[in-house]
Structure 1
Amino acid sequence: MNKHQLVQTLRNSNGLSKQEAEQVVNLFFNELSDSLIRGNRVEIRGFCSFFVKKYGAYTGSNPQTGKKVKIPSKKLPFFKAGKELKERVDR
């Protein structure tokens, strides 16, 4: 399912206009993103949690040349499925 299909499903199941459904979906994703940017964990009980992992800088090597390369620190978003979601998918 992509974002457009989610908007359509929300629209059809709740009698919303296309614009209203898009606003709801955009609001959800914007708030989720903003919360992760602030370093907060987002938990949707029974479904999943989103969080940010921080990685420190390290020295790597370019596989083509073998040269040492400094890799800067970074933050990456992660998704962890909740227990109920895991059980539903496994059925």
Structure 2
Amino acid sequence: MAIVKSKLLKQISQNYPNFLKKDLEKFTNIILKEIKKTLRRGERVELRGFGVFSTNKQKARISRNPKTGEKVHTPEKKTIHFKMSKDLFKKINNEEE
């Protein structure tokens, strides 16, 4: 099950009851906006203990519509790549640190 931003904010506000919910929401929005801006510029975002976000360029190519079989031009685009940290990998796989 995925976690949505509203559930994340709810959990953060439960863990830190002395902060106002609107302040936590502003803080979360600022962090997400800065991550988006950095990725848009083509730079990487490293969150220690969590992982690294980076962008890759996917070349323009001729692809195929699977339903009709017709050839379609797919333009160049950026994709996001995420590599988790070793710490996160160990926590997910219940390994000792």
Same fold (TM over 0.5): yes
Give the conservation status (yes or no) of the 8 Å contact 1:60–1:71: yes
Residue of structure 1 in register with 2:25 after alignment? 22
User: In structure 2, do the counterparts of structure 1 residues 67 and 24 end up closer, same or farther at CA, with 3 Å as the change threshold?
Assistant: same
Identity %, equivalent residues: 34
Shift of 1:8: 2.1
> Separation in 2 of the partners of 1:3 and 1:83?
25
Amino acid at match of 1:5: K
Residue of structure 1 in register with 2:6 after alignment? 4
> Separation in 2 of the partners of 1:8 and 1:60?
43
Higher helix share: 1
Structure 1 stretches of at least 4 aligned residues deviating more than 6 Å after TM superposition: none
Q: Give the one of 40, 43, 56 matched to 1:37.
A: 40
Show the 5 A alignment for 1:1-91. 1-14=3-16, 15-91=18-94
> Separation in 2 of the partners of 1:62 and 1:2?
32
Aligned residue for 2:12, secondary structure, equals helix
Give the conservation status (yes or no) of the 8 Å contact 1:10–1:16: no
Shift of 1:54: 0.5
Listed as ranges, the gaps of 5+ residues in structure 1 are: none
Listed as ranges, the gaps of 5+ residues in structure 2 are: none
TM-score, length of structure 1 as denominator length: 0.90
Amino acid at match of 2:63: G
Number of residue pairs aligned between Structure 1 and Structure 2: 91
> Separation in 1 of the partners of 2:71 and 2:29?
42
Root-mean-square deviation (CA), in Å? 1.3
Cα distance per residue 1:30-75 (max 9 Å; x no partner): 1111110111100111211111111010111222222221111110
